[in-house]
Amino acid sequence: MSQAEFDQFATSYNKDLSKSLAVTGEGRDFYAHGRIDWTAKCAADLGLKVRRILDYGCGDGANAPMLEARFKPDHVLGVDISTSSIALASKSHISENVSFLTTDDWVPDAKADLAYVNGVFHHITPENRIDTLHTIRRALTGDGLLAFWENNPWNPGTRYVMSQCKFDENSITISPWEARKMLSQAGFRILRSDFLFFFPRQLSALRPAERFLRGLPLGGQFLVLCQY
């Protein structure tokens, strides 16, 4: 998706996403907290101290305060192609430990301990994905982590949600297998893959079982955690 297309959805993004997620019975924050908490657990399991975070494809910046609250880092930098989204994020999320830049103004500086990327790459054309991963790599420290989150096209519910979402109309989904292959081609070393969000709110009584299903490739979203 181009800058102009993302700018078009900057102010309606939250409304459009909430409408498409309604069928799950959960809102945007439920999934964001789930992803961020799991990412934090994975980083803690590796003994990695996360001091600086890159939120690549940050959109309206809603993840930034969640990342700040969960990791307690020195700094969170949100980067996005959309100037309108960055302007909205800068006005909505004011903190001395959080800042936002457009991709045109951002220069990767090899200082991020964690690059958090959620639902971004299905908006990037396949021929540009490897170059984008190389750019993200240049933002990471030597042992920095890339938490690559994507919507799982093998999950029927995910496919339905995306079909109802206006800004996903032209997206090209990435399977877990394709994601791992792409990350490996970009030079990343795969540490683990996890699948989350198996049950909607209507079946929330079954959610305690999800911890046993992390390896089953049917969750609504998946994580590929890797280092360079």
Kindly report, residue by residue over 49-79, the tens digit of the pLDDT.
999 999 999 999 999 999 999 999 999 999 9
**Number of domains, the chain:** 1
Mode of pairing for the β-strands spanning 140-151 and 221-227: antiparallel
What residue numbers bound the domain in which 74 lies?
Answer: 3-227
Q: Can you tell me which residue has the tokens 């305060």?
A: 65
- pLDDT at site 107: 96
* Alpha carbon distance 82, 127 (integer Å): 20
Q: Which residues does the chain have with pLDDT short of 50? A: 1, 3-4
**pLDDT for the residue numbered 168:** 81
Question: What CATH number is attached to the domain comprising 169?
Answer: 3.40.50.150
pTM: predicted TM-score of the whole model, two decimal places = 0.94
